[in-house]
Amino acid sequence: MSAHSELAIDSEPDPVVRAYLADVDRTLVTKNLSLTPDERFRQLMALQRLTAELQRAGREARARPPLHMGRRG
């Protein structure tokens, strides 16, 4: 008996899995799987550049003195 035949295969996913699947955009998964490994890597690198830029902008914004709104009297 192979390892695959020993596993029970349910036609219905576990309730927890089903709850998570409700929030999965399958079109994005399908699109990502249609990309080549090189294209996926390039997307990852672009995301990492965006993350670094957002972190830099956040540090810069925190280093500036806060903007004060004019008082109403």
Q: What is the pLDDT of residues 17-72, one digit of tens each?
A: 888 888 889 999 999 999 999 999 999 999 999 999 999 999 999 999 888 766 66
pTM for this predicted structure: 0.56
Residue 31 maps to a domain: no
Residue 25 maps to a domain: no
Domain that holds residue 57: 36-62
Whole-number pLDDT of residue 71: 63
pLDDT at 1 exceeding the cut of 60: no
Whole-number pLDDT of residue 59: 97
The answer to whether 52 and 44 have CB atoms below 8 angstroms apart is: no
Whole-number pLDDT of residue 20: 86
Split into its structural domains, the chain has a count of 1
Whole-number pLDDT of residue 67: 80
Residue 5 maps to a domain: no
Residue 29 maps to a domain: no
Read off the tokens for 12: 């219905």
